[in-house]
Amino acid sequence: MTISYSRWPEDLAARYREKGYWLDVPMTDILARHKNSDAVAVIDGDRQFSYRQLAELSDNLAAALQRRGLKNGDTALVQLGNVAEFYLTLFALFKIGVAPVNALFSHQRTELSAYASQIEPKLLIADRSHALFADDRFIEQLCREHASLQQVILRNDNQPENTLESLLAEAAGEFNATPTAGDEVAFFQLSGGSTGTPKLIPRTHNDYYYSIRDSNVICHVTAETRYLIALPAAHNFPMSSPGALGVFDAGGQVILAADPSATLCFPLIEKHHITDTGLVPPAVSLWLQAIQEWGTNKSLASLQRIQVGGAKLGETLAARIQSEIGCKLQQVFGMAEGLVNYTRLDDDEKTILTTQGRPISPDDEVWVADENGNPLPVGAVGRLMTRGPYTFRGYYNSPEHNAASFDENGFYCSGDLIEMTPDGNIIVQGREKDQINRGGEKIAAEEIENLLQRHPDVIHAALVSMNDELMGEKSCAFIVASQPIKPVVLRRHLRELGVAEFKLPDRITCVDALPLTPVGKVDKKRLRQQLADQQAQA
């Protein structure tokens, strides 16, 4: 059984193969190329793993899962944090052709249940150290609700058998890898989304591996690269732009940090002579603050480049990276759906400080559309439209949403408002999608509004962004209730439903009614304006 997904049309697929973008090899190739190397691949706290060990341990896990009935074409729900087992599991699943959804460690019941409903996984791999898996209640609920679930494997489980650790230690024996073909689904990436249920993005070996290989060229990743992963490992940016997979492909070193805090990261950078990392803008602010407080950037001496993406980087902050950290900046504007833009390392200063770069591939087609879908000239602000060799052609099992997200020629409309400079760089100018970008963490307004509206006293809810000095944006919920209701009660309600903490509204305001547009939709522009006016007065 293969997983069905929206394929590229034949003519484009032929072109991508002809140009050497699609190699028709699975991403197991990334490890296979280094399987006899004793160079260090991953450092996770006191543990380190060579390439040889990564290859062997992922073989062990793959074989153990195969013996437990997992096979090519199956799917898995995986939730692991920034630990070596994240990569061991990813490669093990690639080896047996099982496509995972890698949930973020911050995800809770609502998100995991939504993913399970969409992929009907046969396998769950999770961590006892996550509050959801501290006891068996949620696992029992998942198994009740999803008859497809046959195997549950936990990390940090106090059992002698059937734990992630014990499976990694089971000798592989006669193991035959059965990866999916290059043009089949390798895994599902998570969309930041704008809809009530979070959508999944099928990524094939061909498209993902291509974006990784060419990211390595653009980002100068080599066997000498020592890359700090401080953002959530499952996120598309630290996975593939060039991320850990890029570093593995080049034979470099990945060093894991649980979070991007300066107290955790600075000592790691010093100890492991880290050369590269990827951050979101708020993390950059906190690093600069730490340098000021500690009066030195000495521990960052080995850093050659910092990539910043996930949310718009202001020009002032951008300039401070070069002067106060003393390393190169690379802006990254990417999306789990595909398209990734980078400023190039040898771009002039103005381009690096003021643009979000240009696409990876000469065959990334990017243009700017007006509201009627007509092309706009250089310098005009409009909708980002794109298709290309690593941009998906449809969300998994979502025909209606796909009809609204793509034009008739297969161009994906990302919901970003951009401007093109005369030399082909992109400047992100805003957003049309109903989403809050909270320092790089995306919140689909509709998802939270629906959850808020499940409270018996809430009649209507609208979630909008408000400006925030550190995070860029935070979220504010406007609530119409049948009786007075305290913000703490609504926050508790959301926590009880089980949703990632970063999605809880930063502010909750009760109002008598929500402003409406002439067609009767909630006028979010007006709500955002109200918040901006309040901030201006404060």
**Nearer to ligand AMP (CB atom), residue 251 or residue 310:** 310
Residue 366, classed as helix, strand or coil, is: strand
**Nearer to ligand DBH (CB atom), residue 335 or residue 499:** 335
Chosen from ligand AMP, ligand DBH, none, partner binding at 312 (C-beta under 5 to 8 Å by type):
ligand AMP
Residues 325-344 that bind ligand DBH (CB under 6 A): 332, 334-336, 340
- Rounded Cα distance between 188 and 397, Å, is 12
Chosen from ligand DBH, ligand AMP, none, partner binding at 479 (C-beta under 5 to 8 Å by type):
none
CB of 241 to ligand DBH, least distance (A): 4
Within 8 A by CB and 6+ apart from 21, the residues are 206, 210, 361, 363, 389, 390
Q: What angle do CA 143, 146, 150 make, to 5 degrees?
A: 60
CB of 190 to ligand AMP, least distance (A): 7
CB of 233 to ligand DBH, least distance (A): 13
Residues in the chain: 538
**Nearer to ligand AMP (CB atom), residue 297 or residue 386:** 386
Closest chain position to ligand AMP (CB)? 192
Within 8 A by CB and 6+ apart from 392, the residues are 6, 201, 202, 203, 207, 337, 338, 412
**Nearer to ligand DBH (CB atom), residue 93 or residue 190:** 190
Per-position b or e across 319-328, b if 16+ CB within 10 A of its CB: ebbeeebebb
Within 8 A by CB and 6+ apart from 293, the residues are none
CB of 97 to ligand AMP, least distance (A): 25
**Nearer to ligand AMP (CB atom), residue 225 or residue 437:** 437
Task: Report whether 183 contacts 17 (CB < 8 A).
Answer: no
**Nearer to ligand DBH (CB atom), residue 216 or residue 240:** 240
**Nearer to ligand AMP (CB atom), residue 70 or residue 329:** 329
Which one-letter amino acid corresponds to residue 381? V
Task: Report whether 340 contacts 359 (CB < 8 A).
Answer: yes
Classify residue 92 as exposed, middle or buried by CB count within 10 Å of its CB (0-12, 13-18, 19+): buried
Residues in touch with ligand AMP (CB under 6 A): 191-192, 236, 309-312, 331-336, 356, 414, 416, 428, 431, 437, 442
CB of 434 to ligand DBH, least distance (A): 17
Residue whose pair of structure tokens reads 């990524």 in the numeric block: 203
Q: Which two tokens stand for residue 526?
A: 């007006």
CB of 535 to ligand AMP, least distance (A): 21
Chosen from ligand AMP, ligand DBH, none, partner binding at 97 (C-beta under 5 to 8 Å by type):
none
**Nearer to ligand DBH (CB atom), residue 287 or residue 390:** 390
Verify binding: residue 309, ligand DBH, rule CB under 6 A. yes
Q: CA torsion angle for 137, 141, 142, 144 (degrees, to 10)?
A: 140
CA distances from 430 to 3, 6, 298, 467 (A): 35, 28, 36, 13
Closest chain position to ligand DBH (CB)? 334
Q: Which two tokens stand for residue 501?
A: 């903490």
Chosen from ligand AMP, ligand DBH, none, partner binding at 70 (C-beta under 5 to 8 Å by type):
none
Q: Where are the alpha helices (DSSP H) in 22-175?
A: 28-32, 51-67, 84-96, 109-119, 137-145, 164-169
Task: Report whether 90 contacts 65 (CB < 8 A).
Answer: no
**Nearer to ligand AMP (CB atom), residue 63 or residue 445:** 445
Choice from 81, 121, 198, 310 touching ligand DBH (CB under 6 A)? 310
Choice from 110, 241, 386, 530 touching ligand DBH (CB under 6 A)? 241
Residue 67, classed as helix, strand or coil, is: helix
CB of 526 to ligand DBH, least distance (A): 28
CB of 278 to ligand DBH, least distance (A): 7
Verify binding: residue 236, ligand DBH, rule CB under 6 A. yes
129 Cα distance to chain centroid: 22
Radius of gyration of the CA atoms of the chain, in A:
23
CA distances from 29 to 25, 231, 370 (A): 7, 25, 42
**Nearer to ligand DBH (CB atom), residue 281 or residue 309:** 309
Chosen from ligand DBH, ligand AMP, none, partner binding at 431 (C-beta under 5 to 8 Å by type):
ligand AMP
CB of 290 to ligand AMP, least distance (A): 22
Widest distance between CA atoms in the chain = 71
Chosen from ligand DBH, ligand AMP, none, partner binding at 191 (C-beta under 5 to 8 Å by type):
ligand AMP
**Nearer to ligand DBH (CB atom), residue 122 or residue 442:** 442
Verify binding: residue 260, ligand DBH, rule CB under 6 A. no
Residue 43, classed as helix, strand or coil, is: strand
- Rounded Cα distance between 176 and 324, Å, is 51
Verify binding: residue 389, ligand DBH, rule CB under 6 A. no
Residue whose pair of structure tokens reads 């970063």 in the numeric block: 502
Verify binding: residue 353, ligand DBH, rule CB under 6 A. no
CB of 431 to ligand AMP, least distance (A): 6
Chosen from ligand DBH, ligand AMP, none, partner binding at 414 (C-beta under 5 to 8 Å by type):
ligand AMP
- Rounded Cα distance between 277 and 289, Å, is 18
Verify binding: residue 229, ligand DBH, rule CB under 6 A. no
Verify binding: residue 246, ligand DBH, rule CB under 6 A. no
Task: Report whether 98 contacts 72 (CB < 8 A).
Answer: yes
CB of 394 to ligand AMP, least distance (A): 15
Chain residues binding ligand DBH by CB under 6 A are 236-237, 240-241, 309-310, 332, 334-336, 340
